[in-house]
């Protein structure tokens, strides 16, 4: 029983930290994204393409 409880708690902890990280990322990237979209949507797509290219090359 203790093991199941521990694994459940660990799962909850992982989920909460995951959502916390996502929220942090949104908090950081949202202003940047707004500024980029204000400068022009095409620049946003350039950044997205760049990120995709970088992540593909890293894998």
Residues 6+ apart with CB under 8 A from 36: 43, 44, 47
The count of structural domains within the chain is 1
Q: Residue 53: its pLDDT value, please?
A: 74
What DSSP line would sit under 2-29, residue for residue?
A: HHHHHHHHHHHHHHHHHHHHHHHHHHHH
pLDDT tens per residue, range 33-49: 777 777 666 665 677 77
Q: In terms of pTM, does the model score above 0.75? A: no
Query: What whole-number distance in Å separates Cα of residue 57 and Cα of residue 43?
Result: 21
Write out the residue range of the structural domain in which residue 14 sits: 2-58
- pLDDT over 70, % of the chain: 80
């Amino acid at each position: 029983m203790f093991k199941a409880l521990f694994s459940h708690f660990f799962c909850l902890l992982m989920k909460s930290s995951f959502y916390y990280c996502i929220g942090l990322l949104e908090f950081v990237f949202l202003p940047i994204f707004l500024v980029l979209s204000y400068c022009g949507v095409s620049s946003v797509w350039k950044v997205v393409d760049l990120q995709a290219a970088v992540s593909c090359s890293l894998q």
